[in-house]
Structure 1
């Protein structure tokens, strides 16, 4: 990890007349953590960078600096979807093999990132996983969007990261299913040929922002946000058929908990 970030933190901290302990208190971290960041012996978290920006009054300077250092900005083709997702009042997602990004655990995300981007440094993998965790926070706030997930049974059974990682991932999914604004359904193997072959996400928005619904579709290394009324309607019809073929939410939760037991380390 380059030390320039830590050096910048130290210089600005000293210019503001703050001790390491004061910066730690302001950012929610210990004095020892601040010392390690400034010395370049620990990779700072994005939440620490955000805490520095608050403590220093620097906007998002340190958050952006950290992202540039670690090269963890969302790809150009994915960034538009992430920004729209933050504004959405309804998120409907169909996943074929992997759990929806906004419902992934940290270790599940890390395992996927290590496999899909093997040339990244451990620091870059960690930072990208943390960036993905920010999407999950959308569903934990006071006014979360309605989230409806339809997951192919393969999402539950593919051992991403090993048994322990999968056990925790399914436990997290079962916990999310208990949220009032979240519905989780599983499309079982014995339901036959699925109405849709590829994963996709539908986003709906509050009337106040004037944004029409969109369909997000992703292939290998590329994704598109589509606002064509015809394509969005087709996507909605497909999602309705997927929901009809899937197990009920209660049956889905039973299956998730059953498969979670199979992944017990």
Structure 2
């Protein structure tokens, strides 16, 4: 595209705000382009959002092969029920919370890469605030609230976001307190149901040690719903959970 527009690497660098060497490294494939560079290319070439969108797709490593099928199913679900053991459900994370997790788990990424991956994660959250949101039911172990991710200010904002999310009619949040004893389930999992017209059966998503599986076995899915029912029974009521989240939030300063 650069050659078609009769631009040198230096000229493209000037237009996008980068050096000639940076452009050369991107064209050789030795450096992953930043979001700013991709957007600059779109402006320089008059290609709308072609380069920015292409980069977004290339950087969807936050949705690896084993996770991508679940993300696609989640978009079409009519009901999303999740049990989280020590980290806030991805679709309910704030940008700063997500970035802190990504920086810790993928320390070799550049700041631009981390930001792009956080953007992808945040898009999952828009499912619950749109015009026709799915029913969202989160059961959060108290450890999710207590584990300080990104520092006190980040946790304050994250817990405040949970409280705001809980005010949506289609969202229910329950906290499984430490005082409830041994939890019925040791690992996190998510259950999805789909609208009646679709042929898609309910699924169970389970993840551990960097590997996740989407399971549509009727028996395994039924077991998942039974576990979720027991977790919901042991958890605090939504009102009590709201109060606990508010209390923990108060322990953190902005």
Q: TM-score range by the shorter chain?
A: 0.7 to 0.9
Contact 1:105 1:168 in 2 (8 A): yes
Count, aligned residues: 233
Please list the CA deviations of residues 64-87 of structure 1 after superposition, one character each: whole Å capped at 9, or x if unmatched. 23432x464620000000000001
Aligned to 1:87: 76
Aligned to 2:207: 218
Distance in structure 1 (CA, Å) of the matches to 2:53 and 2:164: 30
Aligned to 1:230: 219
What secondary structure is seen at the aligned counterpart in 2 of 1:262? coil
What secondary structure is seen at the aligned counterpart in 2 of 1:170? helix
Distance in structure 1 (CA, Å) of the matches to 2:53 and 2:176: 39
1:44 to 35, 44, 52: 35
- Cα gap change, 1:232/1:159 in structure 2, threshold over 3 Å: closer, same or farther? same
What pairs with 1:1-265 in structure 2 (closer than 5 Å)? Answer: 38-40=16-18, 43-44=34-35, 56=47, 62-68=52-58, 70=59, 72=61, 74-265=63-254
Please list the CA deviations of residues 23-66 of structure 1 after superposition, one character each: whole Å capped at 9, or x if unmatched. xxxxxxxxxxxx99833499437xx69x98xx9577x6641234
Aligned to 1:30: none
What secondary structure is seen at the aligned counterpart in 1 of 2:197? helix
Distance in structure 2 (CA, Å) of the matches to 1:171 and 1:73: 25
What secondary structure is seen at the aligned counterpart in 1 of 2:204? strand
Contact 1:72 1:124 in 2 (8 A): no
Greater Cα offset, 35-44 or 247-256: 35-44
What secondary structure is seen at the aligned counterpart in 2 of 1:217? strand
Distance in structure 1 (CA, Å) of the matches to 2:60 and 2:231: 37
Distance in structure 2 (CA, Å) of the matches to 1:71 and 1:225: 18
- Cα gap change, 1:37/1:258 in structure 2, threshold over 3 Å: closer, same or farther? farther
What secondary structure is seen at the aligned counterpart in 2 of 1:236? helix
Contact 1:96 1:198 in 2 (8 A): yes
Distance in structure 2 (CA, Å) of the matches to 1:76 and 1:37: 35
Computed over aligned residues only, the root mean square deviation of the Cα atoms, in angstroms, reads 2.9
What secondary structure is seen at the aligned counterpart in 2 of 1:92? strand
**How far is the alpha carbon of 1:207 from its aligned partner?**
1.4
Distance in structure 2 (CA, Å) of the matches to 1:73 and 1:114: 12
Distance in structure 2 (CA, Å) of the matches to 1:130 and 1:37: 25
Contact 1:71 1:124 in 2 (8 A): no
TM-score computed with the length of structure 1 as normaliser: 0.80
- Cα gap change, 1:199/1:66 in structure 2, threshold over 3 Å: closer, same or farther? closer
Distance in structure 2 (CA, Å) of the matches to 1:156 and 1:36: 46
